[in-house]
Structure 1
Amino acid sequence: MTSIAERRAVVRRTPPLALVGAYVSLTKPKLVELLLVTTLPAMMLAAGGWPGTGLVVATLVGGMLAAGAANTINCWYDRDIDRIMSRTRDRPTVTGVVAPRAALTFGVILAWISLVVLGVFTTPLATALAAVAMLAYSVFYTMVLKRRTHHNTVFGGLPGAAPVLIGWAAVTGSLAWPAVVFFGIVFCWQMPHFWALASRYRYDYFRAGVPMLSVVAGPVTVARQSAAWAWATLAVSALMVPVTPQLGWIAGAPVLALGAWYVYETHAWLARIKAGAPDRPMKLFSVSITYMTLLSIALVLDVLL
C-alpha cells in the first residue's frame, strides 16, 4: 500500500499528457465503445431512420460519460483487488498515478455531466435510465454483489444492456417491445462474453477472492451455462423481426445467423473442454465482440436500406 507522499511523488513525475491518459483509462474506453455500439441501432430503430445528428451526438456523449463514470467508480472501489490481478495491476488507481479521492471525484463529476447532457438534450426517461444504470453498476454490482455471489455477472448484465433502452428512450421518450427485445439480446449475450474472459483470468479472480462462476464452478459447468445463455440469445433474437415491423430480411437473416454462430462457438468451447484440449476462452470472447458489432451493423443497414 503506497503512502500519500509516495502517490504525490508519482503524480509529480507523471507528464501532463500521461496523466490525462491515466484518467481516460479509468473510464475503460474499450468497454465504453462496446456498450455504445448498441446505442445507435436502438436510436435508429426507434426513429425508423436517422434520428438527427444533434440527438445522436448528445445521446452518445451522455452515454459515454455515464458508462465512463460507472467504470471509474468501479476502478476506485476495486483498487485493492485490482492490485492482485495481473490484468488490472497497472490501473492508475493501483500504480498511484491517480489518487483514490481524485478518481472518485472524477467519476462523480462525469456522472453529473452525463445526466446534465442527457437531461438537456434528450428526454427525462433516457436521463433516468442512465442514472439507474450508473447506480446499478457502480453500487449494486461493484460494491454489493461482485465480491459476494457468483451471480454478479447476471446482475451486471442489466446495466450493461441499458444503452439500448437509453438510446430508444432518447428518441421516443418511452419504451416499446423492440427496445425490450434488443435489450434482452444484449443482456443474454453478455454471459458467455464475460464468462469467457473470467475463465481466462480465473486464477486472478481466485487470488483476489472474487467468486466469479469460473472460480466456484468447473470449466465444464461454465461452458455449459455459456452455451445455455447463447441459446437464450438466439431465442430472444428470433423475436426481433416479429416485434419490429420496420425490420426486414436484411436484418432478420443476419440476426438469426449470428445467433446460431454464437451458439456454435459456445458448444465448440464446451467440446474442447470435455476433450481435454486447450479451452481457448479468449476465442469465444473475440467471437462475442464480433457478434455484437455485426448485429448492430445489420440493424443499422436494415433501417437505412
Structure 2
Amino acid sequence: MSRAPLLLVLGATGCAGRGVVEAAVAAGRAVLAVAEDAAALQALRQQYPQADLGVLAMPLRSDGDAAALAEAVRNGGRRLQAVIATIGGESASGRLLDQPAEVLRNTLDQDLLPHLVAARHLFPLLPASQHTRYLLVGGPGGGYPWAGYGHRSIAAAALRMLARVLHEEARREGIRVQLLSVDAPLRGADGDVHACAEWPQAAAVGRRALALLEREAPARGGVPAIVDYAASAALTSSKVEVASSPPIRTLPPAVRAADAALRAAPDVPARDLQDARDLLDTFRSFPHPGHRHDEHS
C-alpha cells in the first residue's frame, strides 16, 4: 500500500473539485477527496479505480465539522502534504435588493466560512516548511460585481480578503497560502449546454492549481496571495486589460441577439432606437462570466 503524502481536496465533487482530482490523479498524486455527498464521492472513486484515491464524506460547515475532519485525516495515518480547497455552494440568481438578507447570509455560510474553519483546523496537520502549500480556489465576481449574482460577488470578494489575511498569518507557521481566482464559471467534462465557449475547463484549472503547488518560491519577494487564472499560458501578467466596449461576439447571447435585431430594424423611430442602443451600451459595460476584471483597474 502506498504511503505517499496526501493531497487533500475539499469540495471534491463540485465542478472545480472534480477538475482538481482529475489533474492530481493524472499526475500520479495520492489524493484524499472530501465532500458532503457520499454517493457522488463513490462515483468519483469508481471513475479512477487504479488511482491512489481515498474518499471521505463529511460536512464542513462549522468548527466542529472541521475538527472532525482534521481528526479523521490524522487517524488515517498518512502524512498531509498539501490542501486544495474548492468549497462553494449553489444559489439562484436575482438582484440583491430583491432578496431577503438570508440569501446573502446563506451564501457566506456556504462559500466563505467553510474556508476559514477548514484552514484553522488543517494548518496544524501540515508540515512547517517552504514546500507546504494551502491553495484556495475562488469563483467569479470577486473583483467586479457579477450581474444577477451580487450575493456571490460579495462572498467572492470576501474570500479574496480572507486569502490575504491567511497568507500573512500562515507565513509565521511556514505555510504558503494562495488563492487561485477564476473569474468565470467552469465547464465540466460533461459539457453543460449552458456553458459558454470562453469558460475554462475544470481540468485546466485543476492543472493550474497543481502547478501552483509545485512552483518554488522566488528567492526575493515571496509569492502573491492571489493568483488570477489565465486561460492562455501567454498571459503572464496578473492584470488583463478589458475594453470598456467588448466586441459583439464576446457579449452574452441575449445581448448579441438584441443588438442584431436593432441593426435589422430601420423602421424603428429614431428616438426609440437610440434609447434601445443606450440600454445595450449599458449591458456591454457590465461584466459577465466570460470577462476578467482586475480589482485595481
> What TM-score do the two structures reach when normalised by structure 1?
0.31
More helix by share: 1
More strand by share: 2
